[in-house]
Structures are given as C-alpha cells and as structure tokens.
C-alpha cells in the first residue's frame, strides 16, 4: 500500500513517517514544505505546499498513492484568530485541493481534525456530538470537515483528536508536558488552569490511529485520543510526579486569569469506543505516554 503523508515535518507527521517506514507493507511518500527535517530511509520525500492547487494535483496524479493522510494544518489557535486569511488558506483551501485531487485519482483521504470544533459545554464527546466552534481555528477545521463529508465522489476518514503531546526529532515543538518539565527543572513557579478538561493524546497513538484508518480505508468519523480525562493542572501534577520534580511550584488557576485572542472550549475530551471497536485502536495511558517521552529525551 502506498501512503502519502502531508505535513511530515510536524509532530504528528514525523511520528507517522517513522511508523510507516517501519511497516514493510507500506510505501511511504512523505511531503512537507521545504526540506524534510527527519531522515527518510525507506520511502521518499517530495516537497509539497498543499496551499498550491497545481502542486497538489501534480504530485497526487504522479505518485498515485492509495491513501493520503493529511496532518498539515495551521494549529496555533491564537494565530488563527488574528491571521484569519492564513488560517483559512492552510486549513480549508488546502483541504479543498486535496479533496479534488483525491477524488480525481480514486485516493482514500484520511484527514486529521480537532476537538476544537466543539463549544466545550460538556464532555467527553462521541462522534455524534454537534459541532459548535468558539474560535476561528475550530471554524476552519469544521469547514474542512464539511467539504469532505459533502463530496460524494470521495472515500474518506476524519480522525478528530485532542491536545497532542510528544517530542519531535529536532525538539523544535513544545507542548504542555515539555513546558511543565522544563519550567520545574529551572525552579520556576507555573500557573496552570484547572477549569478545562481534555483527553491528552500521545503523538505515537494518533499516528497509529491514522495508520489503522488508512489500512482499513475506514469510512466515517472517528474520535482518536488518550483515555484519561484530565485538566491541564492534572497533567502538570502527573508530569511532576513522573519526573520527580517539585509539585509545590505548580499553582492552580482558572482560565479567566489568562487573556488570549482565541476563546478555548472549557470541556472536551473524547469517548473513543468507536475507534477501539472499529479500528482496533489501543491508546496508552497518560503515565505510559510520559514513559514514552522519557525514553526519547536525550
């Protein structure tokens, strides 16, 4: 099976490229803007800007993958709020171009979406929950989902996820776990919110969810996340305990104390039964996820 990955330089893209290279039933085509930041030793890398419709059409027509896994997106929630044109181009127009090229070449599209399409009035949520985004990032991701769902000539899976954490090869991306660990190691007191709930997702688990959906060419929407329902404060405390750092430096606060351009949904998190039953998805616990990170920190 030939699988093309977009956004292969991102956190998920890197984990997915590593995973696919280790599977000898897969022929990997990794794509990203610019050069690859990770070694592609089995498969190949092709430079691709998915906001360029001609480039998308040309590459997909030439490579003819069985599946495209779209991990590329503008995910900085506050930047999406203030740079709306860039957000729409990255998160909606690019998906339009991928849909066209996939439909034309009979390629199955696996598209990664987000819990931020929901308003956070309750959680955890299953796949039947009604979207109602509270920020522009969520609006853009929901618009992309609608384009996919409404394309009758496309074979597709939408995988929604929550608060992805992990370590990139070049340590270029931070996340809540690394931020907590680094801050506490430096003896800094940190304020962490305790009024938002998520099911944090290990990047390796999300990559495996993408591969499972791709191999089955699974049709429909699947919620892919961790299984532990936690606040960021819970995450910080668990991180401190795992790495034996000073929990007293962690101060609980609430989201009203932070001013950010984009509103956050207070409570999301996912019910993942459909992915477990339908895809054979088996996520790590949050503690197991921390152990995975610990092994990767040099």
Residue 128 has a pLDDT of: 98
Question: CB under 8 Å to 269, separation ≥6 — which residues?
Answer: 115, 123, 124, 125, 162, 197, 198, 199, 225, 229
Alpha-carbon Rg for the chain in angstroms: 19
Max Cα separation, the chain? Answer: 57
CATH number of 2-166+200-228+269-284: 3.40.50.720
The yes-or-no verdict on residue 298 having pLDDT over 70 is: no
Q: What value does the mean pLDDT take over residues 285-292?
A: 98
**Per-residue pLDDT reduced to its tens digit, 9-21:** 999 999 999 999 9
Give the pTM: 0.97
Q: Where are the domains of the chain?
A: 2-166+200-228+269-284
Residue 48 has pLDDT above 90, yes or no: yes
Structure-token pair, residue 272:
């993942």
What mean pLDDT is predicted for residues 103-127?
A: 98
pLDDT at residue 297 in the model = 87
Average pLDDT over the chain reads 96
pLDDT band, residue 230 (cuts 50/70/90): very high
């Amino acid at each position: 099976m030939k699988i093309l990955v977009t956004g292969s330089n991102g956190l998920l893209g890197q984990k997915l490229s590593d995973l696919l290279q280790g599977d000898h039933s897969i022929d990997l085509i990794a794509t990203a803007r610019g050069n690859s930041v990770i070694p592609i030793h089995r498969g190949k890398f092709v430079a691709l800007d998915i906001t360029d419709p001609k480039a998308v059409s040309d590459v997909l027509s030439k490579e003819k993958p069985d599946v495209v896994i779209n991990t590329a997106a503008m995910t900085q929630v506050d930047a999406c709020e203030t740079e709306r044109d860039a957000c729409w181009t990255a998160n909606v127009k690019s998906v339009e171009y991928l849909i066209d090229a996939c439909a034309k070449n009979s390629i199955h599209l696996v598209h990664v979406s987000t819990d931020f399409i929901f308003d956070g009035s309750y959680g955890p949520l299953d796949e039947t929950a009604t979207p109602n985004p509270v920020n522009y990032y969520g609006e853009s991701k929901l618009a992309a989902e609608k384009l996919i769902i409404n394309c009758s000539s496309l074979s597709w899976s939408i995988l929604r996820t929550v608060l992805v954490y992990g370590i990139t090869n070049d340590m270029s991306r931070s996340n809540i776990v690394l931020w907590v660990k680094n801050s506490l190691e430096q003896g800094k007191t940190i304020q962490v919110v305790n009024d938002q709930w998520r099911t944090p997702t290990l990047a390796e688990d999300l990559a495996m969810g993408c591969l499972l959906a791709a191999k089955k060419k699974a049709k429909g929407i699947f919620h892919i996340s961790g299984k532990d329902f936690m606040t960021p404060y819970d995450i910080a405390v668990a991180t401190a305990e795992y790495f034996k750092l000073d929990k007293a430096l962690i101060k609980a606060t609430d989201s009203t104390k932070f001013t950010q351009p984009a509103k956050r949904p207070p409570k999301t998190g996912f019910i993942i039964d459909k992915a477990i039953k339908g895809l054979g998805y088996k996520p790590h616990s949050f503690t197991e996820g921390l152990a995975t990170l610990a092994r990767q920190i040099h």
